[in-house]
Amino acid sequence: MNAGTTTERPAAAVNHGGGRARRRRWWPALAVAVVVAAGAAIATASVWQRTPAPGAGAAGAFKTSTAVVTRRTLVAQTQVNATLADAGSYTIVNQATGTVTALPAIGTRVRQGGVLYRVSGSPVVLLRGNVPAYRDLAENLTGADVAEFNRAMIALGYTTRADVLAPGLGMRYFGAASAAAWQACQAALGVTVPSAKVTLGQVVFLPTAAKISAWASGITPGAAAAPGAPLMTATSDSPVVTIALDTSLQAEVRAGDTVSVTLPDGTPAPGRVTSVGTVATTSATTGATTIPVLVALAHPAVARQLNSAPVTVSITTGAVRDALVVPVTALLAQPPAGAGGTGGYAVEVTGTGGHHLVPVSVGMIDNASGLVQVTSGRLAVGQRVVVPAL
């Protein structure tokens, strides 16, 4: 490099495109976010350029290192704040008659086939379904409640789909197989004389497994169990992540997108966007207009001990394969053409031939790895570029 040459390292790299990506609208903002964090250190890195070699001992020299030019897949991401909490809220309504003899402790998780509570010693069983229990179920009955009952018995292993399917009615028919399945379920729960009929009050249908959050006022073991009276409240036992997403980013997030959720202890957890809201709300406090975006964790067990917690969600907004990449900190902002320069960006290549600047076009920035895609006919894999020393 000529001794009289001066360059400036950018406080922020601007995305000039390049590479194929699903979405590009976020790239410039991401580029700024990535490089600004290192801006103060990078801005002083140009001092060393006036010295003969990296690490020279001249006064004012800036210590540097080198990095290898490589090819790899880059991923653009943005991070948003979110809240992790138990999903849904359900009121469990009692339909049995008698005395409440057992209630679950607050925080208890009850899965399908488990006992929610007991009335006069008999178990009330949780089954998965959206239609609330409203009648006895017995042979020859049909309906949506029968269908969800049969699905629950199949899921619990007490019968099979082939056994309960009825010609022309499918899963909606309560036949001998349904009755036998219910008897087997009761026997597994310790009922000494299982009944072939599902008496109203013996089961509670909820869309999900339940995490008990509170008992109703005045409900304790020994209280009268009145049919139709709320007994307790519950949430889903699977936590959900809720993002208040700025509406300017609405088009960039789709149901089915994979994301990474960083839990309060720093643990990363993979997730998937399950829904993107369409109704926007504006905060009276901040003035921000947002839509709700819901994310389900791939492994809910990692967060089941958290009732409510702030988390960070990293959303992938684009990717480019086989990109020529260098560290973001290798970029040097060139003086504009009107100031005697060429404008744009360059990297400083070092090797047996000494140091020389190579102009580059800047593409995608991977803010997780600190790498940037560059395009140049004078830059090749294996060359080394100058970066600030750690």
* Confidence tier at 181 by pLDDT (50, 70, 90): very high
Annotate 120-183 with DSSP letters as a single string.
Answer: TTEEEEEEE-SSPP-S-B-TT-BSHHHHHHHHHHHHTTSS-HHHH-BTTTBTTB--HHHHHHHH
pLDDT at 340 (0 to 100) = 61
What whole-number distance in Å separates Cα of residue 193 and Cα of residue 276?
49
pLDDT at 21 (0 to 100) = 41
What whole-number distance in Å separates Cα of residue 253 and Cα of residue 271?
13
Q: In 3D, which of 381, 372, 359 has the Cα closest to residue 329?
A: 372
Alpha helices in the chain (DSSP H): 27-36, 39-43, 144-155, 161-164, 176-188
- Radius of gyration, CA atoms only, the chain: 31
Q: Which residue has the tokens 């307790």?
A: 232
Q: Does 12 score more than 70 pLDDT? A: no
Question: Is 271 in contact with 82 (CB distance < 8 Å)?
Answer: no
Annotate 45-66 with DSSP letters as a single string.
Answer: GGGGGGSSSTT--STT---EEE
Tens digit of each residue's pLDDT (9 = 90 or more) over 315-357: 877 789 999 999 999 999 988 766 666 678 999 999 887 889 9
48 vs 1, 5, 69, CA distance in Å? Answer: 12, 11, 21
CATH of domain 27-78+319-388: 2.40.420.20
* Same fold across 27-78+319-388 and 79-86+238-316: no
What whole-number distance in Å separates Cα of residue 70 and Cα of residue 373?
10
Tell me the percentage of the chain whose pLDDT exceeds 70: 83
**What is the three-class DSSP state of 28?**
helix
Question: What would you measure as the largest C-alpha separation in the chain, in angstroms?
Answer: 97
**Which helix (H) or strand (E) covers residue 358, if one does?**
strand 354-366
The token pair that represents 51 in the structure block: 């010295």
The token pair that represents 381 in the structure block: 């894999």
Domain boundaries, the chain: 27-78+319-388, 79-86+238-316, 90-236
Q: In 3D, which of 17, 26, 11, 9 has the Cα closest to residue 314?
A: 26
Mean pLDDT, rounded, for 75-88? 85
Spatial neighbors of 381 by CB under 8 A, at least 6 apart, are 69, 70, 71, 324
**What is the three-class DSSP state of 302?**
helix
pLDDT at 342 (0 to 100) = 64
Mean pLDDT, rounded, for 66-92? 89
What whole-number distance in Å separates Cα of residue 3 and Cα of residue 311?
50
In this structure, the number of other CB atoms found within 10 A of the CB of residue 127 comes to 22
The domain made up of 79-86+238-316 has a fold known as Elongation Factor Tu (Ef-tu); domain 3 (2.40.30)
pLDDT at 368 (0 to 100) = 76
Q: Does 158 score more than 70 pLDDT? A: yes
Residue with more model confidence, 68 or 254: 68
pLDDT at 313 (0 to 100) = 92
Q: Does 143 score more than 50 pLDDT? A: yes
pLDDT at 53 (0 to 100) = 36
Mean pLDDT, rounded, for 182-192? 96
Tens digit of each residue's pLDDT (9 = 90 or more) over 244-294: 998 888 877 889 888 889 999 888 899 999 999 989 999 888 889 999 999
What whole-number distance in Å separates Cα of residue 158 and Cα of residue 33?
56
pLDDT at 347 (0 to 100) = 94
Tens digit of each residue's pLDDT (9 = 90 or more) over 82-113: 999 887 789 999 999 999 999 999 989 999 99
Q: Which residue has the tokens 């997780």?
A: 368
Q: Does 22 score more than 80 pLDDT? A: no
What whole-number distance in Å separates Cα of residue 90 and Cα of residue 130?
11
Q: In 3D, which of 179, 101, 171, 92 has the Cα closest to residue 136?
A: 179
* Confidence tier at 39 by pLDDT (50, 70, 90): very low
The overall average pLDDT reported for the chain is 82
What whole-number distance in Å separates Cα of residue 39 and Cα of residue 45?
10
Question: Is 21 in contact with 322 (CB distance < 8 Å)?
Answer: no
